[in-house]
Each structure stands twice: as C-alpha cells, then as structure tokens.
C-alpha cells in the first residue's frame, strides 16, 4: 500500500520516505507530501484563479454525468470516453498507458463529482479513464455499499458508523457535494452492485476488498451485476485473493505486495495464475519493481496522490518521472490532469 493510500485508509504508512524519486530536491513537492503524510487525506484546495493548470475537465460538462444526466433515464450511462481498447484493461500483456480514477473520479482532491457516487463513476466514464476504484463495505444488515470512510460524517449530511446503520438509514442520507459544478442533489450512497452495473461495458472496476472480510459478498456482487468481465478483485491481503479465487476461478485480481521480495514471493504464491495488475509503492518502482513486474508478464500501477495535491495547492503536478519510470497505470485523484498529460505526450 502506498504511503498516501495508507494514510487515507487509516493505516500507518511504512517507515520510509514516500515518493522520494519523484520529488527529488523540489521544495514545494516535499511540502505537499508532508501534508499528505501528516494529515492523511488532504482536503481539496482550490487553486488560485491564475494558476494556469491544465484542466481537461473543462471538456467534460457536468450535465454528462450529474443528476441532470439521468433526469429522463435513471439508467443513463455516458458514452465511453477512453480511446484505449477496452480489452487492454484486462490483458496483462497490454502496456498501453492507462488511468485509474480513485473513488470514481477522484477522492478528496477530486474536482469533478462527489467521491464514490454514481455521478463520480459516470464522470470517470465520460472523462475517458480505463479503471475506477471502489470502497465497498457492509451495512448493519449486510448490504455492500460503496463509501470510503467507516463513518458517514465526512461525505454525507448524517453521522454514525456505516457498520452500525441499516441500508435504509444510509440511503436516506444526502451526499455532500461541496462547491463542485453540477447538480448532485439526487446522489445517495450506492451499493457495489449499482456501481458495477453502471460501469459494466464502459470501464473496469477495481473492487477494493480491504474494508470487509466478507469476500463471498464481494464476489456475489460481481456475479449479481453480471460484471465478471468488467471487475478486478483488488486487495493487499493474499488470503482474501485466495478465497475469492476459490469461489470464482475466472476472477481477475490485482495484488499489492510490500517490498521487492514480496513481489517475487506473491508471483510464486499465485502461480500459475497471474495478477492482471500489481500495485507498487514508489520505493519498489525505484528499486526495479516495474521491470520485475514486466518480466513476469503483467503491469504495474502506482498511486500518484502526492503529485495530484500539487495542483490543488496552486503548483504544477508533474507526472513525468512516473511515466518515465515505466509505470503502466496511474491511479489518481485528478484523472483529468493525467489524461491531459498523456494527450500532450501523444499517448492518447
């Protein structure tokens, strides 16, 4: 788990310097990363009006994904915006650069839609990402809903622990949209099945299994949504992957080894199965992890939240070092920025 993700998940990060190779000696980057490490998930900060950051989101109108988009058809889903062949996302040998939108279209640093809502997933589809990440966890009555925190306090108008509330109680809450452009008044906490149904045929869903021990419920949700070909089981827990594969041998999975030795050990553990993606930490990227993953015939993903935050603070988010390190999939809170960079590099 990356340091930024560990902070956001409420897990103490490993005692090592995050994103060291990326930041180098650039002082502003060090300050931004210190914020990520000290306060965990950094609140979204509006950049100065004259910041001049590339804003690809200007090309995606909120009416393509917000509540107004489903006014006439509650099942409306935008046209798939990605220019990458959909088959590439599930093909471990496809090294075309791809983008994973954290929590749908960005977490607390995101600017497009409230995190983990159906509007956020529609936004990711319209924007043109290849993957979207989820945060499934169970309610008191066993419904798997999609919400990052273990309480509803930050993202809704309610208070309380998700695990102590019934689905009906959660569904009655309204989502806090902040000052984002668009109409999000219809949004409620969605179920994992609803997220999968929205994304099926448009974008591959990373089903993060780190927030529940009920592996069977996650696998069942994938089946209930008829989304086996549009989902990847994603966790740092090897035992959970084993359990999921025992339930559904055809399930694709992404692992998150911790350290170079763990990368090799987990490849051996899962053989002859191959993870379609391996999530790396920056330290592993620096230590030859990308090359090791490529030698094994699959792709490397890296969280780039520590770079995303620079734009929110009015600076320049430079993804070039990550791209030049050979990382295949960038998981980001600011997918519009990463896509713009890929377009400028001729990779879109």
Tens of pLDDT along 292-345?
999 999 999 999 999 999 999 999 999 999 999 999 999 999 999 999 999 999
Question: How many angstroms separate the CA atoms of 273 and 79, rounded?
Answer: 33
Residues 6+ apart with CB under 8 A from 15: none
Domain ranges of the chain: 60-344
Question: What tokens appear for 339 in the block?
Answer: 């896509």
| Alpha-carbon radius of gyration of the chain | 19
- Contact by Cβ (8 Å): 250, 235: no
Q: Which band of pLDDT confidence, cut at 50, 70 and 90, is reported for residue 34?
A: very low
Q: What share of the chain in percent tops pLDDT 70?
A: 83
Q: What is the pLDDT of residues 114-128, one digit of tens each?
A: 999 999 999 999 999
How far CA 263 is from CA of 126, 238, 281, in Å, comes to 34, 12, 11
Instruction: Quote the pLDDT of residue 30.
Output: 45
Q: Does 22 score more than 50 pLDDT? A: no
Write down the pLDDT at residue 27. Answer: 43
Residue 276 has pLDDT above 90, yes or no: yes
Rounded to two decimals, the pTM is 0.86
pLDDT of residue 44 exceeding 70: no
Using alpha carbons, list the distances in angstroms from residue 167 to 115, 133, 186, 196, 246: 19, 21, 17, 18, 28
Assigned CATH topology for domain 60-344: TIM Barrel (3.20.20)
Token pair belonging to 246: 């025992």
Contact 111, 57 (CB under 8 A): yes
Rounded Cα–Cα distance for residues 99 and 3 (Å): 19
Q: Render pLDDT for 218-228 as a digit per residue (tens, 0 to 9).
A: 999 999 999 99
């Amino acid at each position: 788990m990356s340091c930024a993700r560990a902070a956001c998940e409420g897990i103490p990060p490993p005692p090592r310097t995050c994103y060291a190779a990326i930041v180098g000696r650039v002082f502003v980057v060090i300050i931004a990363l210190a914020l990520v490490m000290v306060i965990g998930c950094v609140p979204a900060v509006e950049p100065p009006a004259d910041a001049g950051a590339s804003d690809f989101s200007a090309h995606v109108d909120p009416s393509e994904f917000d509540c107004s988009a489903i006014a006439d058809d509650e099942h409306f889903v935008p046209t798939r915006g990605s220019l990458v062949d959909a088959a590439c996302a599930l093909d471990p040998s496809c090294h075309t650069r791809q983008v994973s939108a954290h929590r749908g279209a960005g977490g607390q640093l995101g600017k497009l839609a409230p995190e983990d809502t159906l509007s956020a997933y529609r936004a990711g589809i319209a924007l043109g990402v290849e993957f979207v990440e989820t945060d499934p966890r169970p309610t008191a009555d066993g419904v798997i809903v999609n919400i990052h925190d273990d309480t509803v306090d930050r993202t809704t108008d309610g208070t309380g622990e998700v695990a102590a509330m019934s689905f009906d109680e959660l569904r009655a809450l309204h989502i806090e949209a902040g000052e984002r452009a668009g109409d999000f008044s219809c949004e409620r906490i969605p179920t994992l099945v609803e997220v999968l149904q929205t994304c099926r045929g448009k974008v591959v869903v990373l089903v993060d299994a780190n927030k529940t021990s009920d592996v069977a419920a996650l696998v069942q949700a994938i089946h209930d949504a008829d989304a086996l070909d549009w989902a990847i089981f994603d966790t740092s827990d090897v035992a959970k992957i084993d359990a999921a594969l025992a339930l559904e041998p055809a399930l694709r999975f992404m692992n998150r080894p911790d350290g170079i030795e763990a990368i090799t050990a987990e490849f051996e553990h899962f053989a002859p199965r191959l993870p379609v993606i391996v999530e790396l930490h920056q330290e592993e990227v620096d230590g030859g992890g990308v090359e090791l993953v490529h030698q094994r015939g699959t792709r490397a993903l890296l969280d780039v939240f520590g770079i995303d935050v620079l734009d929110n603070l009015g600076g320049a988010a430079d993804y070039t070092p990550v791209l030049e390190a050979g990382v295949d999939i960038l998981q980001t809170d600011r997918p519009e920025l990463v896509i713009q960079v890929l377009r400028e590099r001729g990779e879109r």
